[in-house]
Chain A
Amino acid sequence: DAGITQSPRHKVTETGTPVTLRCHQTENHRYMYWYRQDPGHGLRLIHYSYGVKDTDKGEVSDGYSVSRSKTEDFLLTLESATSSQTSVYFCAISAGADGNTIYFGEGSWLTVV
């Protein structure tokens, strides 16, 4: 258990509305990630963070923004949700004795109608 909590776990929202997903970790890990999972695509990196206020884009960052004002929280925001953003979103952290193993939260199911 890597101490990762995602909220909400399930959400249905309308096209054009803003949505924020929260990832909370309890073990002071430096690196945090947001991935989306879609059939046929596996997991694709949206954004990641390497410290408070330090973030960078992944391969599918368009339409998403992130913020990390505290070590324990990494927020993913869809400024204006679209149907193409219907997906399962996973938060992850890098941990382990070597710091190089990625561990996942339980996921957030988002449906944009």
Chain B
Amino acid sequence: AQSVTQPDIHITVSEGASLELRCNYSYGATPYLFWYVQSPGQGLQLLLKYFSGDTLVQGIKGFEAEFKRSQSSFNLRKPSVHWSDAAEYFCAVGAISGTYKYIFGTGTRLKVLA
């Protein structure tokens, strides 16, 4: 069965430090991959997506993610975290088996220390 794993439930970083959030997926073919961010009490906002082509994708708010087929991973990175980045981050896999279904990871909550 297809699945998405975000192994880190909570991550704490200092403001200005670099960030990497991990995402691993289980899917036979190359999936559509997404990262979303959710602030408290809000909906989910799309940060970036990967469908094909260049495996390093740039998103909004200075985020980037790299697709590594050999590791079935799509990790999210940011070189310098800002206090406003504190939120919950979700990785997702889409277009499962030719459908329009999407599967989400359980999320990683990011805390930023001043």
Interface residues of A (CB under 8 A from B): 31, 33, 35, 40-45, 48, 50, 58, 90, 94, 98, 100-107
Interface residues on B, range: 20 to 34
Cα distance A26–B51 when bound, in Å? 26
**Contact of A58 with B101 at beta-carbon distance under 8 Å, contacts A41-B106, A42-B106, A100-B32 already known:** yes
- Residue of A45, A94, A104 most packed against chain B (CB within 10 A): A104
B76 at the A interface (CB under 8 A):
no
Interface residues of B (CB under 8 A from A): 6, 32, 34, 36, 42-46, 49, 51, 90, 92, 94-95, 100-107
- Which B residues are in CB contact (< 8 Å) with A44? 104
Contact between B92 and A102, CB atoms less than 8 A apart: yes
Contact between A40 and B100, CB atoms less than 8 A apart: no
- From the candidates A50, A58, A101, name the one contacting B34 in the complex (CB within 8 A): A101
- From the candidates B36, B51, B90, B103, name the one contacting A100 in the complex (CB within 8 A): B51
Interface contacts (Cβ under 8 Å), in number, total 49
Cα distance A45–B94 when bound, in Å? 12
Contact between B43 and A106, CB atoms less than 8 A apart: yes
22 pairs from A and B in contact (CB 8 Å cutoff): A31-B100, A41-B106, A42-B6, A42-B90, A42-B105, A42-B106, A43-B44, A43-B104, A45-B103, A48-B101, A94-B100, A98-B51, A100-B32, A100-B51, A100-B94, A100-B95, A101-B34, A101-B49, A102-B94, A102-B102, A105-B43, A107-B43
- Which B residues are in CB contact (< 8 Å) with A31? 100
